[in-house]
Amino acid sequence: MDNSNTLSLSRYSSDSLDTIESFESIRSKDNNNIIINSTKYKLLVPELYNNKIHGFTYESEPNINGHFIVLHVFNKIPKNCINICKFYKNYYKTNYISLSHDLIRNYKNIITSSNYLNMEIGEIHYLRGDECVCILKTFWLKIIQRAWKKVYKIRQQIIKKRHRPDSMMYRQATGKWPDDYQYMPSIRGLLA
């Protein structure tokens, strides 16, 4: 890759961590076309945009409020990922706890939550003002896990009831399970 066409976004990254993917390998400009040089989804640490922290210039995207700014992008899961997230959480608690947000009313509760500034899976986008933002995808995994846990619990109950002697005798006599245990939920229609 030619370094003359590469846009450096070092203001979003720290050069002290060797596990961080350099933004030069993520994005390059070629005749005003944005080229993403990696997979669609990345492992990253996002934070809510706040103009009191990140600033706002005449080049900034007007609708950036409410987006997640990308702090770090990882090539692989680092061994010290917990320490990286703890560092950001402690930094936020000491420096930004008293700040408010223009759009989000419970901003203080969000930034003090244990789920804030964790590693997430996200899709990276670049706005007109060269802000690196992301769309979080991890919450879909959590929704699917929660739904599957419910289905799995029902499946275990049905299997347990099918192993009862009266259910086995009914199946042997009729060729099908009793009406209460006939349907076994599966992954199909999980979120419907």
> DSSP label at 9?
-
* 78 and 26 in a common domain: yes
Q: Is the pLDDT of residue 60 over 60?
A: yes
pLDDT tens, residue by residue, 3-19: 333 333 333 333 333 33
* 151 and 117 in a common domain: no
* 81 and 172 in a common domain: no
Residue 60 is inside which H or E element, if any?
none
* 152 and 126 in a common domain: no
Rg of the chain in Å (alpha carbons)? 24
Joined together, the tokens standing for residue 3 give 């370094």
Q: Please, are residues 92 and 111 in contact by the beta-carbon 8 Å criterion?
A: yes
Q: Does the residue 123 lie in any domain? A: yes
What's the pLDDT score for residue 175? 92
Q: Does the residue 190 lie in any domain? A: no
Q: Does the residue 98 lie in any domain? A: yes
* 106 and 148 in a common domain: no
Return d(Cα 64, Cα 129) in angstroms, integer.
Answer: 9
* Residue 91 domain boundaries: 3-136
State the total domains in the chain.
Answer: 2
> DSSP label at 32?
T
pLDDT tens, residue by residue, 78-92: 777 778 888 888 888
What's the pLDDT score for residue 12? 35
pLDDT tens, residue by residue, 104-135: 888 888 888 888 888 888 999 998 888 899 99
Q: Does the residue 186 lie in any domain? A: no
Beta strand pairing call for 41-48 and 132-136:
unpaired
Instruction: Output b/e per residue, 63-88; b: 16+ Cβ within 10 A.
Output: ebbebbbbbbbbeeebeebeebbeeb
* 174 and 158 in a common domain: yes
pTM of the model: 0.60
Beta-bridge mates of residue 36: 27
Instruction: Supply the DSSP string of 86-131, one letter for each residue.
Output: HHHHHHHHHHTTT---SS-TTHHHHHHSTTTT--EEEEEEE-TT--
